[in-house]
Amino acid sequence: MQALAVLTFCAFFGGTKMADFNISSVSGVLSPALAESLLMAVPPCQFTGANASIHIIHPNGTTDVRHFTVPLCRGRRELVSVVDSTGGFTVTRLDAYQITRLTPGHTYTISYSVFNKDRSVSKSNSIAMGTLNRVDYRSIPADMSRSGGMVVITVLLSIAMFVLVAGLIAMLAITRCK
């Protein structure tokens, strides 16, 4: 049963070959998925300095391969190199790979390949991430609802105005009768 579960897990995450390492999305940012870019965690620390490729499978089936060098491990290691140098010391806030030039509202399948020093290739699992969908601003509804205060003001002041005009006419009429 356990073997079956493991096999099912592997099949789900990238075919019959088991992944050498896992990749994931990030935390601590507004959103790992923007409309035209995605933020992916870099391969784990054991691959530091190695040449790596990120494989991006587009919805139409084409594959885009981009190459980079796995960055050094520095303390807390998550996404994109955002280095904070205030206070006299350097803290790496984020270590990640930003995939740019994507299309809004599409889902991409992403995986890594790392070329080890012993010439072997380590592959990651594949994960699917979707870019945010961009809505046309012209479709934003101009919602507006009447407040009770507006109705009260309009009704009461209209009645008051009518009463005053009627009072003026009555006043003049009474004087004329006298």
Partner 1 sequence: MAKGDNGVRCFQGLLVLGNVIIGLCGIALTAECIFFVSDQQTLYPLLEATNNDDIYGAAWIGIFVGFALFNLAVLGIVGVIKSNRAMLLAYIILMLITYAFETASCITAATHRDFFTRNLFLKQMLEKYQNPEPLNNDDKWMSEGVTRTWDRLMLQHECCGVNGPSDWQNYMSKFRNINSDSEFPWPRQCCVMNVQGIPVNLDGCKLGVSGYYNDKGCYELIAGPMDRHAWGVAWFGFAILCWTFWVLLCTMFYWSRIEY
Q: How many CB atoms lie within 10 A of CB 152?
A: 10
Closer Cβ to partner 1, 6 or 171, answer by number: 171
Dist. CA 77–CA 56, nearest whole Å? 22
Would you call 28 exposed, middle or buried from its count of C-beta atoms within 10 A (0-12, 13-18, 19+)? exposed
By residue count, the chain amounts to 178
For position 100 contacting partner 1 by CB under 8 A, the verdict is yes
Closer Cβ to partner 1, 118 or 143, answer by number: 143
Dist. CA 107–CA 132, nearest whole Å? 9
For position 157 contacting partner 1 by CB under 8 A, the verdict is yes
For position 91 contacting partner 1 by CB under 8 A, the verdict is no
Which span (2-10, 42-50, 81-89, 121-129) binds partner 1, by CB under 8 A? 81-89
Dist. CA 14–CA 25, nearest whole Å? 17
Tell me the closest approach of the beta carbon of residue 16 to partner 1, in angstroms.
36
For position 35 contacting partner 1 by CB under 8 A, the verdict is yes
Beta bridge partners of 67: 53
Tell me the closest approach of the beta carbon of residue 48 to partner 1, in angstroms.
21
Which of positions 112-151 make contact with partner 1 (CB under 8 A)? 132-138, 140-147, 149-150
Dist. CA 14–CA 62, nearest whole Å? 17
Q: How many CB atoms lie within 10 A of CB 94?
A: 18
* Binding stretches for partner 1 (CB under 8 A): 28-31, 34-37, 39, 79-84, 86, 93-94, 96, 98, 100-101, 132-138, 140-147, 149-150, 153-154, 156-158, 160-161, 163-165, 167-168, 171, 174-175
